[in-house]
Amino acid sequence: MSEETKSFEPTIIGFTCNWCSYRAADMAGTARMKYAPNVRLIRLMCSGRLDPTFVFKAFANGADGVLVSGCHPGDCHYINQNYKMLRRFHLMKRVLAQMGIEPERIKLLWASAAEGAIFAEEVNKFVEQVRALGPLNWHPGNGAASTVHTPMSAEEVPA
Amino acid sequence: MSKPKFAMYWAASCGGCEIAVLNIHEKILDVDANFEVVFWPVAMDAKYKDVEAMEDGSILLTLFNGGIRNDENEHIAKLLRKKSQILVAFGSCACEGCIPGLANFSPIQQVVDTAFSTVSTDNPENVRPQPSYDMPEGTIHIPTLYPVLRTLDQVVDVDYYMPGCPPESHQIAAVIDLVIQVLQGKAQLPPKGSVIGAGGSTVCDECKRKRNEKTIKEFGRIQLMHADPELCLLEQGIPCNGPATRSGCNARCPSAGAQCIGCYGPAEGVVDYGARLVSAFASVIDSNDPAEIDRILDGLVDPAGQFYRFNLAGSLLRAAKPAWKSGD
Ligand code: SF4
């Protein structure tokens, strides 16, 4: 890791489910377990509520990584919505890769309400993974980038 | 009293929008009867300096088609914004980037190389366009390409959006009727920012095909299958963009046996067209097993191309990283 990447603090948006991973995070907090402060948690009622738009918007607006977490397969409070999220996650990852966003910038984590320690550990791992990739700093078409004069690759040939 | 002024312009586009306007048949005479056409490069001779000399706000209605690919497009977009009271992003390119916007997947150097050195291109000396070139008579210029294509509203303020690739002629005729009625004081313009000349729901909503519960074990390509002519295409595993696409075309493609490719852009309330399709396509997959899900998804050979065929420049991410990085 370069010096620059070491000092880089990634911004990570974490989508958590009200019934499991949000409580796992809460439990990690009340048990005073320490984990990286880089994750900004957003509570959803269910991981199945995760519209891929949220993830695209997070990246477009400056997130370096996105964490999506929900109940273990079979444990969904709403029967099977976490499977819907699973399917979306797989497809979303393919689309993001085609957009040039490294698959390591997005993580899926199953964590029950009792798994505060696992949640904290996985968040730490993910933060290091994103830190190693460096900033994403998404800025297509904004300001200066859109008005530069395009360098042409080939040499000028006399007419 | 002199007639209100009308303009139409093409930026990065194919010219299909212009054809669609002419395709309104005798309605075009209404345009002529009610408007003075002051600038319309495809139909009449006019120079940019004529537009520059016009008073600000002196054109009542400008239909602007095409995306913003180079500095000439941007200059004319800003000029027409200044000179027009009502600026309409006309057609998919101006609204959301459309096919020219697909170049936002690739670095600009690669886009140029593809255009000038493909096998079918006769360019033995490997010449590339130069933005300026010194001749004995002086320096000559051509427009400079930007690293990414932008939509009209990413460059100037837009009053109305009229989607479609191209907009359907009956929709164009209806919009022209409306504007004429407004001029005669018989109708009011919709609120600024509205989508005009299109429906408020989805292509699925207008589609006549039969629907059951959609569960898919495999995605297929329509040209390699014998699709049932009555049944919903997505239900048969054919990637159909109907669920996310705005209505207004009477579900033309699904009615003709082809999948909707999304030319009418995002349906009402859809923030990111591709993200909506990720949801729609993922929900029909009939599996809870990660490995099987991946196998089924392998059937979608180019998901980003499928989901952003018309909408890449107008999407939340706007361009793939290699494209916008190429301008850094
Ligand atoms: S998915 Fe396509 S074929 Fe099916 S109802 Fe919608 S528009 Fe029609």
pLDDT digit string, tens, across residues A86-137: 999 999 999 999 999 999 999 999 999 999 999 999 999 999 999 999 999 9
Predicted local distance difference test score (pLDDT) of residue A141:
64
- Give the nearest partner residue to B150 out of A90, A92, A146, using CB atoms: A146
| CATH number of the CATH domain containing A124 | 3.40.50
Same domain, B88 and B237: no
- Give the nearest partner residue to A138 out of B112, B278, B317, using CB atoms: B317
Residue B260 contacts residue B238 (beta carbons within 8 Å): no
- Spatial separation of the C-alpha atoms in residues B321 and B209, rounded to whole Å: 39
Using DSSP's 3-state secondary structure scheme, residue A149 falls into coil
Neighbours of B15 (CB within 10 A): 12
Q: How many domains does chain A have?
A: 1
Is B315 among the domain residues?
Answer: no
Same domain, B243 and B161: no
Share of chain A above pLDDT 70, in %: 85
Same domain, B209 and B285: yes
What helix, strand, coil percent values describe chain A, rounded to 5? 45, 15, 40
Q: What sign does the CA torsion over A101, A105, A110, A112 have? A: negative
Same domain, B160 and B269: no
Using DSSP's 3-state secondary structure scheme, residue B119 falls into coil
Residue A43 contacts residue A68 (beta carbons within 8 Å): no
Is A19 among the domain residues?
Answer: yes
Q: Which of A5 and A149 is assigned the larger pLDDT?
A: A5
> In sequence order, what are the residues at sequence separation of 6 or more whose Cβ sits closer than 8 angstroms to the Cβ of residue B298?
none
- Spatial separation of the C-alpha atoms in residues B224 and B241, rounded to whole Å: 18
Does residue B211 line the site of ligand 1, with CB under 6 A? Answer: yes
For residue B270, the 8-state DSSP code is: -
Same domain, B212 and B256: yes
Mean pLDDT computed over B125-132: 88
The angle that helices B290-297 and A81-98 make with each other, rounded to 10 degrees, is: 50
- Spatial separation of the C-alpha atoms in residues B275 and A54, rounded to whole Å: 9
Same domain, B172 and B275: no
Ligand 1 atom nearest the C-alpha of B234 is: 1
Query: A128 and chain B: CB distance < 8 Å anywhere?
Result: no
Using DSSP's 3-state secondary structure scheme, residue A51 falls into coil
In a mutational test of the A interface, the residue from B121, B217, B317, B328 whose CB has the highest number of chain A CBs within 10 Å is B317
Is B116 among the domain residues?
Answer: no
Residue in B201, B211, B233, B281 to alter for ligand 1 test, most ligand atoms within 8 A of Cβ: B233
Q: How many domains does chain B have?
A: 2
Same domain, B237 and B168: no
- Interface touch B297/A91, C-beta < 8 Å: yes
Predicted local distance difference test score (pLDDT) of residue B328:
76
Share of chain B above pLDDT 70, in %: 100
- Tell me the two tokens of residue B19: 């054809």
The angle that helices A52-60 and B273-284 make with each other, rounded to 10 degrees, is: 150
CB-CB neighbors (< 8 A) of B137 in chain A: none
CB-neighbour burial class of residue A74 (10 A; exposed 0-12, middle 13-18, buried 19+): exposed
Is B44 among the domain residues?
Answer: yes
In a mutational test of the B interface, the residue from A91, A137, A142, A157 whose CB has the highest number of chain B CBs within 10 Å is A91
Residue B86 contacts residue B62 (beta carbons within 8 Å): yes
pLDDT digit string, tens, across residues B274-320: 999 999 999 999 999 999 999 999 999 999 999 999 999 999 999 99
Share of chain B above pLDDT 90, in %: 90
pLDDT digit string, tens, across residues B198-240: 999 999 999 999 999 889 999 999 999 999 999 999 999 999 9
Q: Which domain holds residue B290?
A: 203-308
**B286 alpha carbon to ligand 1 midpoint, in Å?**
18
Is B117 among the domain residues?
Answer: no
Cα diameter, chain B: 72
Q: What is the band of B111 on the pLDDT scale with cuts at 50, 70, 90?
A: very high
HSE value, Cβ hemisphere, 13 Å, CA-based, for B13: 29
Does residue B243 line the site of ligand 1, with CB under 6 A? Answer: yes
Ligand 1 atom nearest the C-alpha of B245 is: 7
- Spatial separation of the C-alpha atoms in residues A91 and B284, rounded to whole Å: 12
- Interface touch A146/B327, C-beta < 8 Å: yes
**B99 alpha carbon to ligand 1 midpoint, in Å?**
22
Interface predicted TM-score (ipTM) of this complex, two decimals: 0.93
Cα-based distances in Å from A11 to A2, A51, A96, B114: 18, 20, 18, 37
Same domain, B156 and B215: no
Predicted local distance difference test score (pLDDT) of residue B199:
95
**B26 alpha carbon to ligand 1 midpoint, in Å?**
33
- Spatial separation of the C-alpha atoms in residues B290 and A41, rounded to whole Å: 25
Q: Quick check: A157 pLDDT over 80?
A: no
Same domain, B175 and B260: no
* Listed residue (A69, A55, A67) closest to A99, CA to CA: A55
pTM above 0.90, yes or no: yes
